[in-house]
Structure 1
Amino acid sequence: MDKFLTALQFLTRIRLVSQDTVAPETFGAAVRYFPLVGAVIGAILAAACRLADHNLPIHTLAAGLILLEIFLTGGLHCDGLMDSADGLMSGRSRERMLEIMKDSRVGAHGVIAFVALILVKWSLLLDLLTASPAPAAPLAALFAMPVLGRLAMVIVITSYPYARPEGIGKAFAVYAGRPALYIAAATAALLVAPLGPAGLAALATAALFAVAFGRYATRALGGLTGDTYGAVAETTEVIVLLIFVLFRNSCFW
């Protein structure tokens, strides 16, 4: 449980126990539980959607769900997306890209990426919330979205090198090990397979996208960083929502 709690308390604002110091090995061992942390986030989002349905205007509900996820994660992955966009879209050398990503200031590319992320998420959620043929589709999508976003993180953490000699994500990359990927993948599959063809299609697409993102980032930066871990989680969530929109008329729910 301590390793799961480490993952939960690192990836979210949820605090259940005090963990003043955590060994790097524990961080690495916690990686296998990332999809379970996603399931916690997804369950909260789906419950909030179910409770607020018919009580809030549809546009307000979609915006509220996005803000709730940002609150639950502390904006950690959004920050990584913005830093990654500033670096990867700068067109500079590898070393300069890494310097830009480490800068606490947000540039134009980061702002554009964040605004685009929120806009696309909001639009896809609206499409799901107004899809009368499958009224449970938004609940399934809200649950699967963070599960597969965290699975994508595990894929790039365990499959590609870390780009910096040190950093907050270094312990994940060094100590996770290949078994973490197998455990996380099996966990994610068990969680989303009951969601029908949309869940299976989202699982496959998320895995393929994570591999493509990892290869791209490795070519550009020589590896991945904590920021790119957050970026792959956020962009994978958008892809998952898109898959559920495309499959909303052929679901089992």
Structure 2
Amino acid sequence: MARSSFAAKSYRTRGIILRTHKLGEADRIITLLSPELGLIRAVAKGVRRTSSKLGATLEPFMEVDAQIVAGRSLHTILQAQLRHPYGQALVADYAAYTAGAAMLETAERLTDADAESIAPQYRLLHGALATLARGGHEPGTVLDSYLLRALATAGWAPSFSHCVRCGAVGPHQAINIPLGGVVCHDCRPAGSISPSAATVTLLAALLDGQWSVIDAADATTRAQSATVVGNYLQWHLERAVKSLKLVERS
């Protein structure tokens, strides 16, 4: 439920559909992320009927303009118009679809826990879905870049250039997930990992959005960085993002 009080019974908002599930014989409950109101859970009545005009609109990945009636526990969606039909492109590409699904799940977790970063998280998700839908970059790297930026926006920015303990300028070859990034030789605690230098470079590029560096990375380096990103995400969310298990990597 959104964290704002609604001044009127009916309101309009734009939002990205994060998740849907069935309700009764013909309805669905829609989880929508609004840049102003946060997470909204609302019933879309009759959308599972073949005659419904809203069925194809209220699907995951779609950005919509919605008219909603506020309710005590669940709101009700009256109308919705497509702004950006990202789902149409993503469902045709399994790798992009699974990467997008992990983005949606992460966005829901982060915005449910942190009301202060809703607007920037929305912009970040919007841009990541648009990038996925356009193609041109390997979907797994788009996902990893999004995850690192989303965590940074939530206040958990990793460092891949300076030692997270003493601040010494790198390059450093060890990463400690609980500490949040690279550590120098003198500060390295037990349990740190030692990925390749290319992986550390790629992680920094993913965080900064340096696509010329990202696109040039080989499959082994991308796989190593994906493992680091996944572990860092799970550490801060304190549980796994289930959709990550389905992401197709190349």
- With the length of structure 1 as denominator, give the TM-score of the two structures: 0.28
- Which structure carries more relative contact order (alpha carbon 8 Å, separation 6+)? 1
Rg larger in structure = 2
Which is helix-richer, 1 or 2? 1
